[in-house]
């Protein structure tokens, strides 16, 4: 593939609801442009963009994929994204590298939650948007119904560009309103046909275009309202300016399975989408944190962002990079602004799905990949040492579903941990923790399918089999009463014996652990043995007397005791302290504490009642509700952590994917009696096993 300048490069993220045909649209574009020699199908597992073993098995995308093509002397970098919400991280990676988001919409199902999420992702990044209504050859497809729902959902910026002419409910031909020409398709080729009579509908659609163009500048506004006609080039230029500014979101249509109207979509991208040079570069920060404007200039100092990483145990690490300024070529010496390390570029690649092609360089505005940069992660800025800047990283959604990950074979714990750490390089939406308290490895992700893919990848890529289980809750124990007890340890053996005798007062405290005091008088216990007593208590507190959970909030005061000048030792007093603990804690009204977290759930107004019901069912206390102004309400509540394990799945089901939440630990509270009883019984049963 030849080198292109930024003025001839388009970076297009393809996003939308699952099943709307994103990968199929990408495949049709690549095939028509000659970038692949056959038209692959998702169902057959042979598309360019769905090349991962998991994607082929599931017949749906689980990660973003890059595939460039050449069309009319332009390079179009397609970035195909997953539609399933569990793999939303792929969408964030794509929009970080893109200059326009092409949103696919099902001609049958119309605007769905994924359509809304794709539009929001574009708006958040300030990117231009275009819509493609797909699957018009399918039975039940209704373009005009979908078009009206797009206008209702996203406002007057939605502008028709290519529309179908229907006869007997089926597409007879497609009309390009910019050219004012009609086409049918035979063997993937467009055939121009006479313009059909659409009556007032066609004029209404053309009026919608003219009105949109009139809004793009004062000059166009005056021309339109003075009654003058726009020329085709003025219409195209006006819409191009409107797309670039975000005032116009053009709508195309067709059928990707048959490639009908995909050529019109490709032409539309060339005419209307902003090029890499037109997006105007980026705002970075210098080493002092001050803003720095970076122009898309191939002759400038190099600055690039790593927007995606692929890790393969056989191929190695591959970093996908968008160059904002300058160029990236073999032997380039760059600085990683996160680590401060020098990175030498050994090789530069153009990626098309999984296929690699050596490139001379990646120039400003373009996308490529660099292999074997071990210290480089997604979100890192690579820049010239002569101009150190940091670019905005990829913004990832926060994982909300946590499960314990259990190796099927004993001794595989290290292999599991190493495998997950490698997968985290590839997918930063994964969180991993080796919980020292519950002795469980806990993995967090964006949903059940996300975790299922992680389990599959651990097996297929790293050869370790695991299962998932509900994670243990880190309960605590404390006391509510003051008691005074004796702890005595006496053991006579041959030679020296062992003797330690303590009187300890146990009572509640505000401390996170043990508050140890002493008020021994008269040397009943020598000072040299005080640390041993404290150490003995601290070791005992790791396991409470109710269910074996760590003890907190305990004040222990050593106030009396006795010793033997020969047989007393640190070990003896440590054992005496343990005896006092075991005797005293059961008398001090021990209670179980459960972790409480603050829940902030953002949910649509229509689902408020159901979510509040869920919060109440989970023993939550609602603290307040606040509207966000986007048809959403934010519910704030305190909920026991033990009740939150499946909340992620339930919120997604109730809100159909529109809801989101964060949950963070705040404190411990005494667990209700029935909850404590069940935890204690489970702990006893586990101990017996």
Alpha-carbon distance of 656 to 654, in angstroms, equals 6
- Give the full edge-to-edge strand order of the sheet including 514-518: 483-491, 498-508, 554-562, 514-518
**Same domain membership, residue 359 and residue 449:** no
The number of folded domains in the chain is 5
Buried b (16+ CB within 10 A) or exposed e, 209-244: bbebbbbbeeebeebbeeeeebeeebbbbbbbbbbb
Residue identified by tokens 């053996």 is: 493
Confidence (pLDDT) at 502:
95
Quick one: pLDDT at residue 497?
Answer: 82
Shared-domain flag, residues 552 and 428: no
What tokens does 200 get? 């007032």
- Regarding whether 13 and 143 lie in a shared domain, the answer is yes
Residue 114 contacts residue 17 (beta carbons within 8 Å): yes
| 54 and 159 together in one domain | yes
User: Do residues 15 and 103 lie in contact, with contact meaning Cβ atoms separated by under 8 Å?
Assistant: yes
Does residue 216 sit in the same domain as residue 303? no
Report which of 38, 25, 79 is spatially closest to residue 260, judged by C-alpha positions: 25
Q: Looking at the domain assignment, is residue 375 inside a domain?
A: yes
Using alpha carbons only, what angle is made at residue 152 by residues 149 and 153, rounded to the nearest 5 degrees? Answer: 85
pLDDT of 452 reads 96
Paired strand residues for 503: 486, 560
SS3 546: coil
How distant, in Å, are the alpha carbons of 178, 492, 601 from that of 594?
64, 43, 21
Among 418, 449, 469, the domain boundary falls at: 469
Q: Which domain holds residue 644?
A: 594-684
The answer to whether the CB of 61 falls within 8 A of the CB of 23 is: yes
Torsion sign, CA atoms 43, 45, 46, 47? positive
CATH number (domain holding residue 459): 3.30.70.870
Please tell me whether residues 145 and 258 are part of one structural domain: yes
Q: What is the pLDDT of residue 88?
A: 95
Instruction: Say what the pLDDT of residue 494 is.
Output: 62
Of the candidates 338, 370, 390, which is a domain's last residue?
390
Q: Three-state SS for 328?
A: strand
Strand arrangement of the beta sheet that strand 158-160 belongs to: 65-71, 74-80, 9-16, 100-106, 128-134, 249-253, 158-160
Helix and strand tally (H, E) in the chain? 16, 37
Q: Which of 571, 588, 605 is the last residue of a domain?
A: 588
In terms of domains, do 626 and 656 share one? yes
pLDDT per 10-residue tile (average), the chain, 689 residues: 93 97 97 95 95 93 97 98 96 97 97 96 96 94 95 91 91 91 91 88 82 84 85 87 92 97 97 92 90 93 96 86 95 94 93 94 96 94 95 94 94 94 95 89 95 95 94 95 95 78 95 91 90 96 93 95 88 94 96 96 94 96 89 94 93 93 94 95 83
Determine contact, residues 547/675, Cβ cutoff 8 Å: no
102 occurs within a structural domain: yes
> Phi first, then psi: what are they for 682, rounded to 5°?
-65, -40
Here the CATH number for the domain that contains residue 515 is: 3.30.230.10
Give the contacts of 290 (CB within 8 A, at least 6 positions apart): none
Instruction: Give the residue from 495, 390, 410, 401 showing the smallest Cα distance to 449.
Output: 401
**Based on the domain organization, do 320 and 226 belong to the same domain?**
no
User: Are 105 and 200 found together in one domain?
Assistant: yes
- For residues 93 and 379, give the distance between their C-alpha atoms in angstroms, rounded to a whole number: 9
Residue 395 lies in a domain: no
Q: What CATH number did the domain enclosing 338 receive?
A: 2.40.30.10
Cα separations in angstroms, 209 against 177, 250, 293: 8, 9, 35
CATH number at residue 655: 3.30.70.240
Both 115 and 259 in one domain: the answer is: yes
Prediction pTM value: 0.89
201 CB-side CA count, 13 A:
11
- Answer whether residue 17 is part of any domain: yes
475: phi then psi, degrees, rounded to nearest 5: -70, 170
Distance, CA of 208 to CA of 214 (rounded, Å): 10
CA 56 to each of CA 422, 458, 622: distance values in angstroms, whole numbers, following the listed order: 21, 17, 44
Q: Which residues of 87-108 are buried (b: 16+ CB within 10 A; e: fewer)?
A: bbbbbbbbbbbbbbbbbbbbbb
Residue 401 bridge partners (DSSP): 445
In a domain? residue 277? no
Q: Answer yes or no: is 689 within a domain.
A: no
pLDDT of residue 23: 97
DSSP 501-513: EEEEEEEE-SSSS
Give the single-character DSSP code of 64: -
pLDDT at 530: 94
Q: H or E element: which one contains 650?
A: helix 647-655
* β-strand pairing of 401-407 with 440-445: antiparallel
Residue 569 lies in a domain: yes
Alpha helix (H) residue ranges in 322-465: 413-426, 448-462
Coil, strand, or helix at residue 34?
Answer: coil
pLDDT of residue 495: 64
Specify the CATH number for the domain of residue 10. Answer: 3.40.50.300
Beta-carbon contacts of residue 161 (< 8 Å; ≥ 6 apart): 176, 177, 178, 209, 239, 250, 251, 252, 268, 272
3-class state of residue 572 by DSSP: helix
How far apart are the C-alpha atoms of 351 and 229, rounded to whole Å? Answer: 45
At residue 689, the pLDDT reads: 67
**Helix ranges, 198-354 (H):** 200-214, 218-225, 232-245, 262-272
Is 156 part of a structural domain of the chain?
Answer: yes
Task: Based on the fold, state whether residues 481 and 407 are members of the same structural domain.
Answer: no
583 and 606 assigned to the same domain: no
- Number of residues that make up the chain: 689
Type and span of the H or E element at 554: strand 554-562
- What pLDDT sits at residue 231? 83
Question: Could you tell me the CA-to-CA distances from 421 to 8, 429, 462, 541 in Å, in that order?
Answer: 39, 12, 11, 33
């Amino acid at each position: 593939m030849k080198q292109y300048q930024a003025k001839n490069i388009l970076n297009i993220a393809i996003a939308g609801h699952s099943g709307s045909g994103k990968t199929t649209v990408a495949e049709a574009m690549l095939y028509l442009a000659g970038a692949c020699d056959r038209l692959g199908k998702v169902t057959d597992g042979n598309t360019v963009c769905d090349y991962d073993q998991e994607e082929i098995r599931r017949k749906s995308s689980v990660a973003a994929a890059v595939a460039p093509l050449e069309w009319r002397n332009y390079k179009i970098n397609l970035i195909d994204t997953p539609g399933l919400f569990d793999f939303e991280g792929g969408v964030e990676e794509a929009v970080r590298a893109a200059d326009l988001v092409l949103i696919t919409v099902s001609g049958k199902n119309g605007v769905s939650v994924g359509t809304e999420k794709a539009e929001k992702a574009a708006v958040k990044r300030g990117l231009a948007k275009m819509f493609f209504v797909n699957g018009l050859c399918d039975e039940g497809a209704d373009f005009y119904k979908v078009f009206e729902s797009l206008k209702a959902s996203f406002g007057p910026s939605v502008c028709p560009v290519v529309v179908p002419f229907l006869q007997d409910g089926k597409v007879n031909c497609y009309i390009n309103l910019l050219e004012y020409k009609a086409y049918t398709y035979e063997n993937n080729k467009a055939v121009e046909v006479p313009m059909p009579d659409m009556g007032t509908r066609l004029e209404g659609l053309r009026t919608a275009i003219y009105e949109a163009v009139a809004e793009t500048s004062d000059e166009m506004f005056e021309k339109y309202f003075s009654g003058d006609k726009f020329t085709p080039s003025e219409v195209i230029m006006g819409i191009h300016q409107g797309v670039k500014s975000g005032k116009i979101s053009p709508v195309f249509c067709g059928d990707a399975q048959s490639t009908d109207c995909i050529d019109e979509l490709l032409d539309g991208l060339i005419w209307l989408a902003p090029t890499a040079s037109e997006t105007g570069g980026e705002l970075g920060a210098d080493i002092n944190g001050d803003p720095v404007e970076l122009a898309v200039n191939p002759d400038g100092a190099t600055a690039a962002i790593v927007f995606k990483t692929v890790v393969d145990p056989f191929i190695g690490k591959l970093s996908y990079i968008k160059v904002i300024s300058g160029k990236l070529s073999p032997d380039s010496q760059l600085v990683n602004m996160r680590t401060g390390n020098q990175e030498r570029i050994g090789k530069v690649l153009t990626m098309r799905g999984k296929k690699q092609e050596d490139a001379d360089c990646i120039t400003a505005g373009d996308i490529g990949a660099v292999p074997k940069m071990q210290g480089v992660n997604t979100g890192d800025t690579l820049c010239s040492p002569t101009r150190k800047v940091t670019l905005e990283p990829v913004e990832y959604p926060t994982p909300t579903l946590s499960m314990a990950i259990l190796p099927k074979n004993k001794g595989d714990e290290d292999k599991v941990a190493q495998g997950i750490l490698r997968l985290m390089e590839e997918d930063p939406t994964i969180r991993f923790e080796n919980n020292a308290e519950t002795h469980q490895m806990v993995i967090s992700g964006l949903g059940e399918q996300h975790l299922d893919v992680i389990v599959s990848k651990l097996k297929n890529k790293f050869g370790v089999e695991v299962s998932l289980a509900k994670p243990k809750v880190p309960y605590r124990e404390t006391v509510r009463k003051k008691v005074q007890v004796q702890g005595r340890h006496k053991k006579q053996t041959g030679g020296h014996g062992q003797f330690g005798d303590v009187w300890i007062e146990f009572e509640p405290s505000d401390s996170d652990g043990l508050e140890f005091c002493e008020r021994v008088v008269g040397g009943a216990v020598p000072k040299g043995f005080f640390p041993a007593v404290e150490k003995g208590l601290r070791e005992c507190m790791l396991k409470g007397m109710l269910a074996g959970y760590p003890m907190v909030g305990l004040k222990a005061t050593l106030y009396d005791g006795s010793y033997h000048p020969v047989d007393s030792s640190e070990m003896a007093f440590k054992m005496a302290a343990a005896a006092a603990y075991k005797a005293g804690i059961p008398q001090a009204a021990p209670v179980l504490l459960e972790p409480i977290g603050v829940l902030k759930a953002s949910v649509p107004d229509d689902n408020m009642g159901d979510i509040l019901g869920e919060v109440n069912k989970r023993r939550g206390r609602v603290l307040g509700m606040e509207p966000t102004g986007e048809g959403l309400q934010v519910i704030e509540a305190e909920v026991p952590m033990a009740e939150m394990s499946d909340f992620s799945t339930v919120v997604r089901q109730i809100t159909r994917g529109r809801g989101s939440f964060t949950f963070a630990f705040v404190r411990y509270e005494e667990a209700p009696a029935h909850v404590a009883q069940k935890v204690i019984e489970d702990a006893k049963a586990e101990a017996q096993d």
